[in-house]
Structure 1
């Protein structure tokens, strides 16, 4: 079981089995359970759940859930933009100083070289510190993510395969034994009280006496609920209700986005100046800012790093998992338990009558 800080450490899942819709209160927080059994947390959305960056791979047999590379390119862009902006400011200071002192040194070039010789090493060292820390963060977060293999959900076998941090061997458990929740707890920063929301799942370990926990922070409670429905709908519903894998961040996606922006600007109105933080095509000024930002970020470098992040995150599975992941004849597909069928029918009728998730517990107790 993941030994991490959080109110989840107080869960006594073995002795106090939760129920879908149950709310458990803890000091400074509470948790709302979605399963077991893996019941819908609301009425099913007819047109699916859109795209999700928690899906690494999805097909008719299995779905891999983990952390995709969305956001990695922006992480690199933010660090490189700040560094390159600092380099531009320092360069401007050197040129301005050389221009002011060119007569004293007998020429602009001599004054510039003197300034670089006297102060260049110190200022360069100062700029190297945030550059080193920034790239250390980029690489360290990717390597940390790569150490945890994705969780694989096999809908045909109705089983789940996971790898805990200490055991390199896979553990395969029945899907209906999955426990899931979203928790919210409050913390004190010294000057303010902040709320933290976490989506979590727990799977029985190889001994059957404890649980391995998977947790990730989410912005709001509804985002945690959506994370659960993305997994549950894949395992329980027809393909039209599934979420889709979000598009990877790579050099191709950057080129496609840039061409779309370029075409939109070409076909739209073109004022000289019109501020818009979200639309680069709003004016010539915005388009200039868009290209300057990407040039300062070293153009496609952030997306090259994002490709590397995606590559190391999708580590190969052992042969036994590859065999377990192969499609099987439809007549051999595992079926939902009778208990789940009854509880799901009751839950769907409950939601159709206007009931909520927090009142579902009474039906499945």
Structure 2
């Protein structure tokens, strides 16, 4: 719709398509999206009148654990199958079982598998360590700023109305099937260096990831009372838990013929650890997280009413325009298509 965001900072309404991935920008200038505020992964770990902490859910940890376990198990099964095939081809020269055992216990192959398993374990250890050492992103609604802290680095503070938010759509292989992948991506730009730090939050579909952003937006603009109330308990609701796995299993069994259920779900998930990745994800989620430095804790203290930041006039004006467009039956895409199709109608306050 606009000039390439690669040549400048992106703006709400920008659209990108590259290498099979489509990206639509919702912010800077966090205007209403028209979607209900909703968090499918219970990301809002702590919220009060001053700040909201947003951290990663369990789904990404479960997927990583399932991928690593599945990779190692695939090598083990492939090796056993190859050993059996070699023993079968030599059945006229040597009895099958002693021959199979000879090939199966090949020390070189098991050494290779052990190296792959060690590499997978190391990568999983790094993921767990990074999650434990990284503080959540803190949104301070009274200051209208966002704080991001990396271990060993000074905190990065970004004005709320300058936070970059976009949703992406692509195709990936997940722990359940080859399916479309959607994610909410938050970009926090360090004004001193110009670097943009990205936080990626995966979601089940496009509507859910937009609703995740809308939940953050309504908190910053309206307060904690605007946050959605979970309709189910965390254990039942959050992707990556054992309960969610069992729910998916039940749906898959109900919706598919038994051979597809047996080979498309049971075999695949048995070879990728069954519910072990879920237990790993839940354990990681329960581990103590990194605490904020004192500087951020001081920044998080309540402010008197007269010192609290207010929305900009540009944000208030464009938000009102978008709500009028929603009242006419338009959606967010319609609004930006009309806006960018005729630059003469774009008001100076909303110009990029």
Report the TM range for the smaller structure's normalisation.
0.5 to 0.7
The structure 1 residue matched to 2:327, chosen from 329, 352, 364, is: 352
Deviations 1:81-138 (A, max 9, x none): 453355456557768959x979978x97xx379726x952133224334433433443
* Cα gap change, 1:323 to 1:330, in 2 (>3 Å): same
The reply on whether 1:150 has 2:142 as its aligned counterpart is: no
Query: 1:24 & 1:260 partners in 2: Cα distance?
Result: 35
Q: Report the counterpart of residue 30 of structure 2 in structure 1.
A: 38
Contact 1:56 1:67 in 2 (8 A): no
Q: Which residue of 2 aligns with 1:132?
A: 118
After superposition, the Cα gap between the structure-2 partners of 1:326 and 1:295, relative to the gap in structure 1 and judged at 3 Å, is farther
Q: Aligned partners of 2:27 and 2:292: how far apart in 1?
A: 27
CA contact (8 A) 1:261 1:281 kept: no
Displacement after TM superposition at 1:258 (Å): 7.0
Deviation at 1:170, TM superposition (A): 1.6
1:10/1:216 Cα in 2 relative to 1: closer, same or farther (>3 Å)?
farther
Aligned pair 1:305/2:294, yes or no?
no
Displacement of 1:162 in angstroms is: 1.7
Is the 2:184–2:209 contact (alpha carbons within 8 Å) kept by the matching residues of 1?
A: yes
* Residues 116-167 of structure 1, C-alpha deviations (whole Å, 9 max, x = no match): 6x952133224334433433443344455566543211224322112368x7
Q: State how far apart, in whole Å, the 1-side matches of 2:17 and 2:239 are.
A: 39
What SS does the corresponding residue of 2:48 show, helix, strand or coil? coil
Q: Distance in 2 between matches of 1:93 and 1:30?
A: 41
Larger C-alpha radius of gyration, 1 or 2? 1
- Mark the CA change 1:307 to 1:261 in structure 2 (over 3 Å): closer, same or farther: closer
Q: In the TM superposition, what is the alpha-carbon distance from 1:348 to its structure 2 partner? A: 1.4
Q: 2:163 aligns with which of 178, 183, 197?
A: 178
Equivalent of residue 212 in structure 1, options 196, 201, 204: 196
- Gaps (5+ residues) in structure 1? 1-6, 186-195, 265-275
In the alignment, the residues of structure 1 paired with residue 110 and residue 211 of structure 2 have an alpha-carbon distance, to the nearest angstrom, of: 47
Where in structure 2 are the equivalents of 1:1-365 lying within 5 Å? 9-11=6-8, 13=9, 20-21=12-13, 23=14, 33-40=25-32, 42-45=33-36, 48-52=37-41, 55=43, 57-61=45-49, 62-84=51-73, 86-87=75-76, 90=79, 97=87, 111=98, 115=102, 119-143=105-129, 149-163=135-149, 168-181=153-166, 199-205=185-191, 207=192, 210=194, 212-214=196-198, 216=200, 225-226=210-211, 228-237=213-222, 239=224, 241-243=226-228, 247=237, 253-254=241-242, 256-257=243-244, 278-279=252-253, 296-298=271-273, 300-310=275-285, 314-326=289-301, 334-355=309-330, 356-358=334-336, 359-360=338-339, 362-363=346-347, 364-365=350-351
The TM-score, its normalising length taken from structure 2, stands at 0.63
Taking structure 1 as reference, are residues 326 and 120 closer, same or farther at Cα in structure 2, changes over 3 Å only?
same
Aligned residues: 316
- Kept after mapping to 2: 8 A contact 1:80/1:297: yes
Scaled by the length of structure 1, the TM-score of the pair is 0.61
RMSD: 5.1
**Cα offset for 1:169?**
1.9
